[in-house]
Amino acid sequence: MARPVDADRARSFPPLVGAAPRVLILGSLPGRVSLSAGEYYAHPRNLFWDLVGKYTGVSRSMPYAKRMEALAARGVALWDVVQEARRPGSLDASIEFATARHNDIASLILAQATLRAVAFNGATAARLFTRQVLPQLGERAATLRLLSLPSTSPAHASLSLAAKRAAWQRIVDQLD
């Protein structure tokens, strides 16, 4: 379901968490196209569905609800570190972090005994997680594999598709 886009504030979606998640993929904050569509990674040039689909069998061509259902069934959870913030445009560099409120990712992780890894879709998500969430995890942090992955955003074009595929393949190790 599409959500209105407020020019001054961006808000994340609810988390996707199935019955037994093994990998939590965290982004920073959805971009304008995703917010308008009401869908994670809706920008047609965002590589998320292509990269994750290659390893999970979840195709961009599937209806969105089916993609989400299939990801959850495969053990993949999705969320964003930032719950809400001022951000003109869609770039992570435009997030006004002084206005940011963060999602309660620590509670989600602590409630999911099956979770093995947290994967970061880009450096901003990794940095925010390390600063905001990791200190709250206590001993649970030692049981998680943290995977810093290159951003799937079309704005992150410094790596080739092949290099991104190789990096994102590390998620498969956590699912099998």
Instruction: Select from 77, 146, 137, 142 the least CA-distant residue to 118.
Output: 146
d(Cα 121, Cα 171) in Å, to the nearest integer? 11
Please calculate the CA angle 157-30-33 and round it to the nearest 5 degrees: 80
Q: How many residues does the chain have?
A: 176
3-state helix, strand, coil in the chain (%, to 5): 40, 20, 40
- Catalytically annotated residue among 12, 28, 34, 46: 46
121 an active-site residue?
A: no
Q: Which residues are catalytic?
A: 46
